[in-house]
Amino acid sequence: MERCLFFLSLSSLLLLSTASSGYVRLKDGGSPCAGRVEVNHEGEWRTVCGAGWTESDAKLVCRELGCGTAVEVQPYPYSGSGFHKNGPYRTCSDYPYGFEVQCSGGVRLVGGAHLCDGRVEVHDGRSWQTVCDADFDQQDAEVVCRELGCGAPAEVRGAAAFGRGEGSVWSKELQCRGHESQIFFCPTSPTQKQNCSHENDVGLVCSGSGYVRLKDGGSPCAGRVEVNHGGEWRTVCGAGWTESDAKVMCRELGCGTAVELRPYPYSGSGFHKNGPYRTCSDYPYGFEVQCS
C-alpha cells in the first residue's frame, strides 16, 4: 500500500531542509515541475498528505526544486497509511487528501519593476542561467509569459536591457513552437553554444507587467496596443498577433475577453512583437483590440 507523509501542522522549515536535501519531488504531472508532492523517507518515495497545506508551502517546494513559483495547488482524495512528522506511521483518514502542485517551471524574470518583466533566466537543475538574445525569439517568449502566468509577450529586449546577469549563460538555444505550457517541453539545439556573454542577456516584457495598455479606443478596454519603454508609450507592430494574444491581454488588463482584433496602417517607429525598437516598415501595421 502506498504510504504518505502526514503533517498535522506544515512547517516551512521542515520542507526547506527536506527539499534542499533532494528528498522532495513532484510526481506524475508531466514534468519535474508539476504533480503530486512526494517525500523520500528511508529510500522510499511517499505521498504527502494532511491538513495545513498553503500556497506559501507550495511556493517553497517549487522554489527549492528550481521550478519558479507555485501557480496552483489542489488536494486530491487519498486515505492510505502515513507518517507523522514527529511520530510513527498512521493512516491519513482524518484528512484523506494528498496535494498536487503546478509550478511556473524552471524560468524566471529578474531585474524588472514587476514579476512579469525582466531578464530571462532558466534553471538547468543546478543553477540559474541567463539566455542569449540571439537564441530567443517570439515563440520562446510566448511560452515563458504563459508559464509565468503573465499573459502574452509584449516586447523582447536584447543587449542586457535589464542588466547583466551572473554565473553562466545557457549554452543551448530554445526552439519553442509557441504552444508549449512550459519551456521544459520545448526542444533545444543539439549542440552547445559558447559565443555569448552577459552583454547579450535577453529580457522580456509580458502583458501582465503593467507596461501594456490600450489607447484611444474610448475606454481603458479598447484601442491600439502600446508598450511602455523608458517611460515612453510606443506602438506595437509586427506580424504574429493573434486572437489568443488579444484575449490574454484583455484578461490581464481586467477587461474580460477580446471580442475584436484588427490591424491598422502604421509605418512609424515602434516595437516589433518579437524584436527591438525600430521602424515598422516591413510590417506596416499596428493592432487595435476591443475587449468585452
Q: Check whether residue 98 and residue 121 sit in a common domain.
A: no
Determine the 3-state secondary structure of 20 from DSSP: helix
Listed residues 164, 179, 206: the one ending a domain = 206
Give the C-alpha distances (Å, rounded to integers) separating 238 from 70, 101, 102, 259.
33, 37, 33, 21
Residue 89 class from Cβ within 10 Å (0-12 exposed, 13-18 middle, 19+ buried)?
middle
Do 195 and 255 lie in one domain? The reply is no
Query: In the predicted model, is pLDDT for residue 186 greater than 80?
Result: yes
- Encode pLDDT of 233-263 as tens digits: 778 876 667 787 788 778 777 788 889 998 8
Grid cell locating 99: 496535494
- Mean pLDDT throughout 38-60? 77
In this structure, the answer to whether residues 120 and 93 fall within a common structural domain is no
Q: Which amino acid is at 277?
A: Y
Residues 195 and 219 reside in one and the same domain: no
3-state SS, 128-191, equals EEECEHHHCCHHHHHHHHHHCCCCCEEEEECCCCCCCCCCCECCCCECCCCCCCCHHHCCECCC
51 confidence band (pLDDT: 50, 70, 90): low
Number of domains in the chain: 3
Conformational region of residue 149, where left means phi above 0, alpha means psi within -120 to 50, and beta covers everything else: left
Whether residues 45 and 73 fall in one domain = yes
171 and 155, same domain (yes or no): yes
- Specify the CATH number for the domain of residue 38: 3.10.250.10
End residue of a domain, out of 48, 68, 103:
103
89 and 116 belong to one structural domain = no
**Residue 52 buriedness (CB in 10 A; 0-12 / 13-18 / 19+):** exposed
Write down the pTM of the prediction.
0.53
Beta carbons of 139 and 257 less than 8 angstroms apart: no
Give the domain-ending residue among 68, 85, 103.
Answer: 103
Identify the domain containing residue 24 by its residue range: 3-103
Tell me, yes or no, whether 137 and 87 share the same domain: no
Residue 208 in this model has a pLDDT that exceeds 80 = no
